[in-house]
């Protein structure tokens, strides 16, 4: 593995970027620090009585796990003090959180899913933090409004995730390709392990919660049938893999290729995944790696959220696999 640290990589890359400001590098630095801190806690979760639920149901109607709350608190505390942000949006907070006037503020907006894969926390399966960084119009003053935050994914300045698995990895893009780093726990540094990740043009794996078949509409079923059948581009069935942590399923898709799908269903007509803290950041990474992400009909990055917690159907992965899905949806009338 290379000895290039994430800080070194950022400094080299940022020189060529329009966001070559100390503020932006500082933001990423503090985000990485938060990730390391969450990683430490995740590694020790089984020993510290921090597994299980809190008994609280969040704004998404989901049971909040103790680790969800810990990760959210770590990120909120650290990032409010980083000096680069004016506001934060978290899956675990119903409202937009504006940076308190007692801290220095900047132009950037951070949206995050503090811990993705909640249902896997207690069983020692990969989970992760997903983040999206936006910027308010330079020169804007006063309290940031929600409307300023509700930007389509095309406006993202950077996006990425930290995956807590057999090893902790940071994968992100500032719009110049996707780069992966692995945490060396001995020195506490993320080292460049996966430079310039490119997603294969077509994969051999599909990933979806197939248990929901009965709840899907016709195009969703046709997509899954297509990848299972022997009449697809390979002439043989794809393999099925489904971790149930989006961040882990996406990470595999990014490296091995294939497609991840979370279609709408009769219980969740807008889909389950959140546009701003899950769909948009992962779509940014997919496209930066040469892949694609759509909601069936439209590019995820062009969807403008109508609320902070807007949901979206997601089909993401290898370009040609996503094209197959687009063709199937195009043959059906958009509802």
113, 287, 295, 324: which one binds Mn ion (CB under 5 A): 113
Least separation in angstroms between residue 64's CB and ligand AHG is: 9
Q: Which does 244 bind (CB under 5 to 8 A by kind): Mn ion, ligand AHG, none?
A: ligand AHG
Q: Which does 63 bind (CB under 5 to 8 A by kind): Mn ion, ligand AHG, none?
A: none
Nearest CB to Mn ion, comparing residues 75 and 322:
75
* By the rule CB under 5 A, 116 interacts with Mn ion: yes
Least separation in angstroms between residue 20's CB and ligand AHG is: 32
* By the rule CB under 5 A, 189 interacts with Mn ion: no
Measured from each CB, the residue nearest to Mn ion is 116
Q: How many residues bind Mn ion (CB under 5 A)?
A: 4
Least separation in angstroms between residue 90's CB and Mn ion is: 9
- Return d(Cα 312, Cα 297) in angstroms, integer: 11
x/- site string to Mn ion, residues 80 to 109, per CB under 5 A? -----------x------------------
Nearest CB to ligand AHG, comparing residues 242 and 297:
242
Q: Which does 174 bind (CB under 5 to 8 A by kind): Mn ion, ligand AHG, none?
A: none
Nearest CB to ligand AHG, comparing residues 191 and 277:
277
* By the rule CB under 5 A, 321 interacts with Mn ion: no
Binding segment for Mn ion among 116-124, 169-177, 212-220, 294-302 (CB under 5 A)?
Answer: 116-124
Q: Which does 286 bind (CB under 5 to 8 A by kind): Mn ion, ligand AHG, none?
A: none
Chain length of the chain: 335
* By the rule CB under 5 A, 69 interacts with Mn ion: no
Burial class (CB in 10 A: 0-12, 13-18, 19+), 101: exposed
* By the rule CB under 5 A, 30 interacts with Mn ion: no
Query: Which parts of this chain interact with ligand AHG (CB under 6 A)?
Result: 62, 91, 113, 116-118, 209, 244-246, 272
- Return d(Cα 30, Cα 85) in angstroms, integer: 11
* By the rule CB under 5 A, 249 interacts with Mn ion: no
For Mn ion, the binding residues (CB under 5 A) are 91, 113, 115-116
């Amino acid at each position: 593995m290379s000895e290039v640290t994430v800080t070194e990589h950022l400094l080299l890359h940022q020189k060529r970027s329009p966001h070559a400001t100390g503020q932006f590098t500082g933001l990423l630095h503090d985000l990485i620090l938060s990730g390391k801190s969450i990683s430490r806690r995740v590694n020790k979760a089984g020993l510290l009585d921090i597994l299980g639920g809190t008994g609280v149901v969040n704004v998404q109607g989901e049971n909040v796990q103790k680790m969800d709350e810990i990760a959210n608190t770590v990120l909120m505390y650290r990032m409010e003090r980083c000096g680069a942000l004016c506001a934060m949006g978290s899956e675990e907070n119903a409202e937009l959180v504006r940076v308190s006037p007692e801290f220095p503020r900047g132009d950037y907006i951070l949206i995050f899913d503090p811990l993705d894969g909640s249902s896997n926390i207690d069983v020692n399966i990969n989970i992760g933090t997903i983040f999206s960084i936006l910027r308010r119009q330079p020169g804007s003053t006063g309290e940031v409004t929600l409307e300023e935050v509700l930007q389509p994914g095309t406006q993202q300045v950077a996006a990425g995730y930290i995956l807590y698995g057999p090893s902790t990895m940071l994968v992100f893009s500032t719009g110049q390709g996707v780069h992966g780093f692995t945490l060396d726990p001995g020195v506490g540094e993320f080292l460049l392990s996966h430079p310039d990740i490119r997603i294969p043009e077509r994969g051999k794996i599909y990933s979806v919660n197939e248990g929901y078949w009965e709840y899907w509409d016709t195009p969703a079923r046709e997509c899954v049938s297509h990848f299972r059948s022997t009449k697809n581009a390979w002439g043989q069935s794809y393999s099925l893999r489904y971790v149930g942590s989006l961040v882990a399923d996406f990470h595999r898709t990014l490296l091995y290729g294939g497609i991840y799908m979370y279609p709408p269903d009769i219980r969740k007509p807008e889909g389950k995944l959140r546009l701003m803290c899950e769909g948009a950041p992962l779509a940014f990474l997919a496209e930066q790696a040469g892949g694609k992400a759509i909601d069936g009909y439209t590019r995820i990055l062009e969807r403008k959220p109508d609320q902070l917690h807007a949901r979206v159907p997601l089909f993401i992965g290898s370009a040609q696999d996503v094209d197959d899905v687009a063709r199937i949806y195009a043959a059906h009338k958009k509802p």
